[in-house]
A and B are shown apart, each in its own frame.
Chain A
Amino acid sequence: QVQLVESGGGVVQPGRSLRLSCAASGFTFSSYSMHWVRQAPGKGLEWVALISYDGTNKYFADSVKGRFTISRDNSKSTLYLQMNSLRADDTAVFYCARDPSRFGDYGYADYWGQGTLVTVSS
């Protein structure tokens, strides 16, 4: 069955960097685009980024553009989110999620991981 397992969350100081990973299994990872979606404590969902199946197309929310980078290693079935210049308002649970399309043209997420918490605090 499809499994997505995020890791790499934790407490980080403002201005520092963190890299999240999402290990995928149970499907052909290299055939699907992938999302990162976050949720601040007690708040709603916020889409963060999407990467196409081959890594050639990437899209970002305005709030993270220029600070976050999305990437993937299809040989390892792993998705990444590199987060730089972190701010307090980046504090959230970060979910990775699968898009049923190759290029993200569907845009919705049919499978989700359980999330990893990132806390930005001094």
Chain B
Amino acid sequence: DIQMTQSPSSLSASVGDRVTITCRASQDISSYLNWYQQRPGRAPKLLIYTASTLQSGVDSRFSGSGSGTDFTLAISSLQPEDFATYYCQQTDSFPLTFGGGTKVEIK
């Protein structure tokens, strides 16, 4: 199985900050990497698929990059509604696997 490792596991930031979250795969997954946001008590929401494609309706302050084993989610200017937990997911092969999550908290 492909292991997905996210870092950091949590971070504190202020509104307006630029934030980056990284995700590393245990083997080459090409661009088969997706990012989700989950607010407390809510279902996950797809932000980015195939590493860098923004899901319809998602604000352009979110962006994704990377290929192979190393990927990044960036939020250009953190907004109050962005305080949440973010997960990466590989869809290169079954079983599909998620990273452990990165919780973005208010500083």
Give the B-binding residues of A (Cβ under 8 A). 37, 44-47, 50, 59-62, 95, 106-110, 112-115
Contacts and interface: CB of A to CB of B under 8 A. Distances in A.
Contacts of A46: 98
B55 interface: yes
B91 interface: yes
Interface of B: 1, 32, 34, 36, 38, 42-46, 49, 55, 87, 89, 91, 94-101
A60 B95 contact: yes
Contact of A45 (B32, B49, B87): B87
Contacts of B1: 62
Interface on chain B toward A: helix, strand, loop, or mixed SS?
loop
Given A50-B96, A106-B91, A107-B32, A44 B46 contact: no
A44 B96 contact: no
B5 to A, nearest CB: 12
B97 A47 contact: yes
Contacts of B101: 44-45
A95 B41 CA distance: 12
